[in-house]
Structure 1
């Protein structure tokens, strides 16, 4: 079902939302609204990442590393690819280096890769796409120069992917992102104890509780880099412990409603998160009624509030792991200079940032940013 839906969307050039007949939706899939996402724009025409994994079309996949410049030749529309968002963990797993780069361009032994990456390759192939972007295998991990170049292109990499697969179940790259799932376990059932013309429904549906357990409370959701990857992606496919969930980022939120076939009859397709109601209200205002800088500033600080408590393996990544969101906002209309987590045009107000009440934070060892920036504080 996901495969058909993704291909309908990726080939839709008229900006019309393709729909599947309702009976084709599967109880295992929970289609959710996103939260705090900036408006989506079209794919950057002709964009191809510097490197991609070619998973081929054979079973099992025959994987190799390919150069984006080679794929870009002869096409003005770019290349369709899937991106992966996952937790590295602390274990050792195969990564791209200058020593193995040439060998990987010939073939990458599937069994040599971390299990999460193996599963993502299989999912990419099964979804009917040929190319996959994985940071550990598409960025030279022993080259500071390559890292500096590629780390600032995260905005384009994730925003131009057909979708991003999120391995929310896995705590490390060595773990599988797949798990045996029982759709019936998430399907509400009604038990009649007495003969009454109504039933009592819990405040939270099984789908909502599943989202909380699988995604909100996951280790993946506590990671700083993963937040940026989610915020920049147009479509997220979350492989959770109980279900496969999805969220879609659209230019305007009206027209999309939260739904799943696991919803109970009285919980049918008509809930919109409060944050999205606010977002839609802003988007429905006439242009002259709203100051663009104020709008983007509000969106930016929503992202900062979500991002700042998240963890980073390397404390020095605090600024770079949110730089892609800053770049996206700038490209979307925030024409101001970005200064260490703040914006020049709203600098006096931005300098009024504060740590939430009741939360004690300390500055990390070593310089990470100017003391007047929120990036200088952990949390």
Structure 2
């Protein structure tokens, strides 16, 4: 019950009062005079609304220009966070997409809940009146006790001021997280059908207090090992080759290794592990046969590891970064507000104690958006590993099935930030924990594909192989299902409805014409795709049948292409209608039609004309894999799914590959919705061009059998 309802002053919930004599010394962060004034000047709070149990101060000014903010950011942790946040922001308005202007500086206010949750909201002065949709940066203040681990209380004071991510505290904390994770049932849940381990690993030992290492052939199966995720840069000076295998099996020259490899060996040792797997040192780099064999096992390698070490820094650097501990790491401040009278009853209470600043976008900026995690192969590495230790320039982050933490918050990252880490997407370990049914597993796969397709691959032929480990892991949860060129046989028809996300940038869509990938596979295009039809499968029904018809696995000796890609031809039974005729019937006097068309290869000129001027195109040869993906006057509509509740039909755009219309190539997808009072059968009548009432809404004309390549 709120204080306005009772007339009583609420008891302000204070954080744990930190007494310096009872806690290790807490380094206070560096703040500029402008930011210090926010905490030194006593704010006056007023209630946000009668129904809101929070209070807000008046808007106050901050730095008046971007230049002043930039200058202050070199010595102020808050200004640095603000500059990074606003520099990364873009807004969409009448002028198009552009950066948020900081020419007139920033404003801010303080928000305080009756439970003493404190947040600072900063917004650009140029925005004028702030609204919920206005671009803003949020910085929270958490009780300092949240940022002190049980390990900190046992360390000498000087160890807490950590000037590098490779410090004693950082590595001890990492070992502590791993030991906790090994007790988590979720993290160590066995994965069906994934008991294989890498045949080669790096053995690490100490000799005369120096770390030594060698490539170990067929180490003991039961031994625990770490894996390394890193960005490929220049060709490493030392890598496993047929010519130097004997040397590396004897001993690896650690000083000659890339710095990130040297650091990974050190971290593995500090974690208490004695084996490490690094791709360039455990796979023969000059043997396509070995790459094929090992990459098939990539998913299991990461799934069965004790820990994945991730290097989020650029490829030229190592794992460890130096930092200003008072600017970059665990920024603490002391708050001393003596007269906080939230309900204005004349009975103020003090709010006093040490707090830790938390950037609400910290995980996203330092981990999710790190260059490493934009690489294609890393997607499945992160998803399948039971736990990930990520080294960023700012600090070390930890993620496992039960804990998301960092050096600033070693006991767990508090507040809403963990929502974006944990709950926006389900994890592979969630599927294991819940013993998820096949429908849920397939939904998870297409969510993964939507994220994975936005990443970058150096070798475009790896489009399927770089995700195949994930597919292998999921096949263990649904052993009766068949993986067909990136799609699952159990949901084949609805899975065809993926679409590109590049309508605003058609130049980013590339047809991978050099590889044996069918047009109906999302992997046949090098671009971002979205597979969201799976979100509403439960409220849909199929109006076409799709089965595989002719499956050929590429030879294992064919190293020019992926050995995982299934070259498939689909046999479809459904109804076809002409695109141009249908659009003509559906367009009203104002030139508007209810169709949403998503061509695989967007054509800006066609899009601008609302598909009114589609080009003529002759029947095309199958081998011309680029032209066959473009929509034209020969393009046809193929309904796949009906959503009765939404009165919507979704389907494919297809192009004929031969006269007679028996063989087709995919050209995109479409969606059509009619007003609420209409019925799905009216959509089918629109597609077929028939009039009058229909006896069967599923069959407006004789279904045809054809093939999709």
Interval containing the TM-score (normalised by the shorter chain): 0.7 to 0.9
State which drifts further: 154-163 or 367-376: 367-376
Indicate whether 1:343 and 2:488 are aligned.
Answer: yes
Q: 1:44-83 CA deviation, whole Å, 9 max, x = no partner?
A: 8974311000111344311101012x424xxxxx110000
Indicate whether 1:159 and 2:307 are aligned.
Answer: no
Kindly tell me: are residues 259 and 85 of structure 1, through their superposed partners in 2, closer, same or farther at Cα, counting changes over 3 Å? closer
What corresponds to 1:316 in structure 2?
461
Is the 8 Å Cα contact of residues 48 and 71 (structure 1) preserved in structure 2? no
What corresponds to 1:296 in structure 2?
441
What corresponds to 2:333 in structure 1?
189
Measured in 1, the distance between the counterparts of 2:216 and 2:407 equals 40
Is the 8 Å Cα contact of residues 297 and 469 (structure 2) preserved in structure 1? yes
Kindly tell me: are residues 273 and 190 of structure 1, through their superposed partners in 2, closer, same or farther at Cα, counting changes over 3 Å? same
Instruction: Please state how far the C-alpha of 1:193 moved relative to its aligned partner.
Output: 8.3
Q: 1:280-302 CA deviation, whole Å, 9 max, x = no partner?
A: 9x979998xx8x23211110011
Kindly tell me: are residues 285 and 214 of structure 1, through their superposed partners in 2, closer, same or farther at Cα, counting changes over 3 Å? closer
State which drifts further: 178-187 or 148-157: 178-187
State which drifts further: 348-357 or 181-190: 181-190
What corresponds to 1:103 in structure 2?
247
Listed as ranges, the matches of 1:208-287 within 5 Å are 208-249=360-401, 256=402, 258=404, 262=408, 268=414, 272-273=418-419, 276=423, 279=426
**SS at structure 2 position matched to 1:90:** coil
Measured in 1, the distance between the counterparts of 2:500 and 2:519 equals 13
Indicate whether 1:113 and 2:257 are aligned.
Answer: yes
Instruction: Please state how far the C-alpha of 1:353 moved relative to its aligned partner.
Output: 0.8
Instruction: Please state how far the C-alpha of 1:362 moved relative to its aligned partner.
Output: 2.2
Q: 1:89-109 CA deviation, whole Å, 9 max, x = no partner?
A: 234432101111111110110
What corresponds to 1:330 in structure 2?
475
**SS at structure 2 position matched to 1:62:** strand
Measured in 1, the distance between the counterparts of 2:272 and 2:485 equals 41
Kindly tell me: are residues 338 and 284 of structure 1, through their superposed partners in 2, closer, same or farther at Cα, counting changes over 3 Å? closer
Instruction: Please state how far the C-alpha of 1:335 moved relative to its aligned partner.
Output: 3.0
Which of the two has greater strand per residue?
Answer: 2
**SS at structure 1 position matched to 2:457:** coil
Is the 8 Å Cα contact of residues 496 and 521 (structure 2) preserved in structure 1? yes
Is the 8 Å Cα contact of residues 201 and 217 (structure 2) preserved in structure 1? yes
What corresponds to 1:4 in structure 2?
176
Kindly tell me: are residues 189 and 342 of structure 1, through their superposed partners in 2, closer, same or farther at Cα, counting changes over 3 Å? same
Instruction: Please state how far the C-alpha of 1:332 moved relative to its aligned partner.
Output: 2.1
**SS at structure 1 position matched to 2:366:** helix
Q: 1:306-356 CA deviation, whole Å, 9 max, x = no partner?
A: 100100111111100000000000112353110110011111011111012
Indicate whether 1:66 and 2:216 are aligned.
Answer: yes
- Note the residue ranges of structure 1 that are not aligned, 5 or more in a row: 18-38, 73-77, 200-204, 250-255
Measured in 1, the distance between the counterparts of 2:194 and 2:500 equals 40
Out of 515, 519, 526, the position equivalent to 1:367 is 515
Larger radius of gyration: 2
Instruction: Please state how far the C-alpha of 1:259 moved relative to its aligned partner.
Output: 5.4
Is the 8 Å Cα contact of residues 257 and 270 (structure 1) preserved in structure 2? no
**SS at structure 1 position matched to 2:367:** helix
Measured in 1, the distance between the counterparts of 2:302 and 2:337 equals 50
**SS at structure 1 position matched to 2:198:** coil
Instruction: Please state how far the C-alpha of 1:192 moved relative to its aligned partner.
Output: 5.8
Instruction: Please state how far the C-alpha of 1:161 moved relative to its aligned partner.
Output: 0.4
Is the 8 Å Cα contact of residues 315 and 368 (structure 1) preserved in structure 2? no
Calculate the aligned-residue CA RMSD, in Å. Answer: 3.2
Measured in 2, the distance between the counterparts of 1:52 and 1:342 equals 33
Is the 8 Å Cα contact of residues 56 and 63 (structure 1) preserved in structure 2? yes
Instruction: Please state how far the C-alpha of 1:126 moved relative to its aligned partner.
Output: 1.5
Is the 8 Å Cα contact of residues 213 and 254 (structure 2) preserved in structure 1? yes
Which of the two has greater helix per residue?
Answer: 1
Instruction: Please state how far the C-alpha of 1:364 moved relative to its aligned partner.
Output: 3.5
Q: 1:151-204 CA deviation, whole Å, 9 max, x = no partner?
A: 0101110001000000011x22x42120024454342535568954579xxxxx
Measured in 2, the distance between the counterparts of 1:117 and 1:375 equals 32
Measured in 2, the distance between the counterparts of 1:151 and 1:197 equals 63
Kindly tell me: are residues 2 and 258 of structure 1, through their superposed partners in 2, closer, same or farther at Cα, counting changes over 3 Å? closer
Measured in 2, the distance between the counterparts of 1:111 and 1:243 equals 25
How many corresponding residue pairs? 330
Measured in 2, the distance between the counterparts of 1:324 and 1:318 equals 12
What corresponds to 2:203 in structure 1?
54
What corresponds to 1:90 in structure 2?
234
What corresponds to 2:318 in structure 1?
176
Kindly tell me: are residues 48 and 286 of structure 1, through their superposed partners in 2, closer, same or farther at Cα, counting changes over 3 Å? closer
Measured in 2, the distance between the counterparts of 1:271 and 1:378 equals 32
Measured in 1, the distance between the counterparts of 2:417 and 2:400 equals 15
Instruction: Please state how far the C-alpha of 1:358 moved relative to its aligned partner.
Output: 3.2
If asked which structure has higher relative contact order (CA below 8 Å, sep 6+), I would say 1
